[in-house]
Amino acid sequence: MPSHAPPDPPPPAPATFRRAPADHAPRYLATGLLLLAMGGGVLGWLAHGLTSPRLTLGDLLWNVVNPHHPVSADALTPLEWTFAVALLTVAALALRRRRAARGGALLLAFLLLGLCLRQGVGALDERYRLGFETPTYGPWALATYAVGLLVAVAVLALLLPRPERPAGRYQEDGEGRPPALGAAGAVAGAALIVLALVRIGWLLDNQRLAARYDLRTWNEYFRELVDPSLSSSPVSLTGGSPYYEAALPVAMLLVGGLACAGRPVARGAGLTLLGMLGYLQYRALAGVDVNDLDLYFDSGRGTLWLASALGSALAVLAGLLALAGAGRGRPRDRAADPGWSTRPGPPPFPR
């Protein structure tokens, strides 16, 4: 006897959390434009450096891939390069309303906020404050940090108040949030935490040597992290390096903890951090001269540095792969949705 059950409905389209809901589009658009403006400002300083006779575009591009090639300080530092690229990349993702842009934008906003507040602490020193009056560069430096502060506060105000609520048939939790990162988040979180501890360890070890040889005391080191007036001026193109070197591993610890807890916002923040660290790690390994490898094995410290550099590169790759596939939505179970019931229908004729 032929079955009178209706045919199975087509399976629902695979759920994805790549794009934010449409009602969040204005916030993502504003965030993208703000980050784009800030990233363009950093590139503007770099473009101005190219007008100097000490720096050519060829030297800059060659140093990007070959750390051994000398380049003028007018080119800023690799830390500023990675920050600028991160700003522009996350801005592009935000303009396309990608969910990962939220975590990346929040991370960059907090880093930018800390950088600008650090300049505010430096401005408490009268001698440092006079640097903002330097002809040509002083006002532009002041404007850059002022705009950076406004951008950071605006992005935080746009993205912090409420998390996203996905629309459609998703495997959601009780509040309709995207699914937790799961095991992939734990892997990426552990990688971030390990990378942070390694970088913090080397920062402290380098300062230990600096204190031993009377190059910089511990008090000066910790003060310089929050007060740039100790060793630089407002128009210094490399004055932010101590801040970046300390802020990045602290951010890794925090984002790593969020990833281990399965928080969806950690995906975008972790991808941004690992992308920045990936380039910095490449420069560290590219700076190793294969002809001088035996020098690294002449001491325990050199061997440990080389091993940690190689291990960190692998950890960055593992974290990127884990986060790239984490947090994807899954279709709901049909049996849980009455709209997809597969129970046989009534017969066509009464019994």
DSSP class per residue in 96-132: TTBTHHHHHHHHHHHHHHHHHHHHHHHTTSHHHHHGG
Whether 349 maps to a domain, the answer reads: no
Top-confidence residue, 300 or 111: 111
Res. 1: pLDDT tops 80: no
Mean local confidence (pLDDT), 184-195: 93
H or E stretch at 198: helix 182-212
User: What single-letter DSSP state applies at residue 13?
Assistant: P
Q: What is the DSSP string of 205-255?
A: HHHHHHHHTTS--HHHHHHHHH-GGGT--TT-SSTTHHHHHHHHHHHHHHH
Q: What is the pLDDT of residue 343?
A: 44
Residue 2 lies in a domain: no
127 within some domain: yes
Residue 6 domain-assigned (yes or no): no
Tokens of 35: 């980050």
Within a domain: 343: no
Selected residue with higher pLDDT from 338 and 55: 55
Ramachandran region, residue 179 (left: φ > 0; alpha: ψ -120 to 50; beta: rest): beta
In a domain, 153, yes or no: yes
Return the closest-CA partner of residue 202 out of 115, 285, 306. Answer: 306
Tell me the pLDDT tens digit for each residue of 274-316: 999 999 999 999 888 888 788 888 888 889 999 999 999 999 9
State residue 341's pLDDT score.
41
Segments forming the whole domain that contains residue 74: 22-161+178-330
Q: Are 82 and 55 in contact (CB under 8 A)?
A: no
In the prediction, which pLDDT does 19 show? 78
Task: Tell whether 53 is covered by a domain.
Answer: yes
Please report whether residue 7 resides in a domain: no
pLDDT reading at 185 higher than 70: yes
Given a cut of 90, whether residue 234 has pLDDT beyond it is: no
Bigger pLDDT: 48 vs 166: 48
The pTM (predicted TM-score) of the whole model is 0.83
Mean pLDDT lowest among 18-27, 128-137, 269-278: 18-27
Between 288 and 83, the more confident residue is 83
* Number of domains comprising the chain: 1
pLDDT tens, position by position, 325-350:
775 544 444 434 444 444 444 444 44
